């Protein structure tokens, strides 16, 4: 079975046109779906008047950056937040020689919320993740830093959802 160049080119042109049409239709439906971001200060019912942090500075910076959109916003509920973040790394399992096989990072953030009436609420957010040990310690440290940043971002999102619900 030998095909000539004309038949092959014609076949590829038809396939390209079909795929292009599929992509255009997909883009049309996706762009017209009315997507709006969830974590915006425009639709929030609270504003953070003061934010103070204690504990792990690097992770507190990440949480503060996520909450910065809600600072000094115009809303009915004016809140003062204190965030205390603790990061703990522990060995979750060992191999037969006693060397660490997997680690667990625990991130705990305790927030104290004081509303404009002086009512105080405490809420503890806990996130943890297990990961395998690496032979290269610099790769292990990079992995720890990346996972702790991800955990801090998730806690910041949970804080926002919690503040919207109270």
DSSP helix/strand/coil, 44: coil
Q: Tell me: do 9 and 76 sit in the same domain.
A: no
- Give residue 83's pLDDT band: very low, low, confident or very high (50, 70, 90): very high
| Sheet with 120-132, edge to edge strand ranges | 46-55, 77-94, 100-115, 120-132
The model's pLDDT over 27-41, given as tens digits with 9 standing for 90+, comes to 777 665 565 555 555
What is the per-residue pLDDT across 41-57, written as a single tens digit (0 to 9) for each?
556 778 888 999 999 99
Structure tokens at 71: 């600072």
Let me know whether 85 and 5 are in one domain.
Answer: no
Q: How many domains does the chain have?
A: 2
Q: How far is CA 6 from the centre of its chain?
A: 52
The residue range of the domain holding 137 is 46-165
Same domain flag for 50 and 84? yes
In a domain, 88, yes or no: yes
CB neighbours (10 Å) of residue 110? 16
């Amino acid at each position: 079975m030998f095909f000539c160049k004309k038949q092959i080119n014609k076949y590829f042109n038809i396939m390209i046109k079909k795929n292009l049409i599929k992509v255009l239709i997909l883009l049309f439906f996706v762009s017209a779906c009315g997507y709006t971001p969830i974590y915006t200060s425009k639709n929030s019912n609270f504003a953070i008047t003061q934010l103070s942090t204690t504990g792990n500075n690097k992770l507190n910076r990440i949480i503060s950056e996520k909450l910065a959109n809600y600072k000094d916003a115009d809303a009915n509920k004016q809140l003062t937040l204190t965030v205390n973040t603790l990061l703990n790394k522990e060995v979750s399992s060992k191999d037969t020689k006693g060397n660490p096989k997997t680690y667990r990072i625990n991130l705990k953030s305790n927030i104290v919320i004081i509303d404009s009436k002086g009512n105080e609420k405490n809420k503890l957010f806990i996130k943890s993740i297990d990961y395998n040990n690496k032979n290269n310690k610099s790769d292990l440290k990079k992995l720890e830093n990346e996972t702790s940043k991800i955990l801090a971002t998730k806690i910041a999102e949970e804080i926002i959802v919690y503040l919207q619900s109270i």
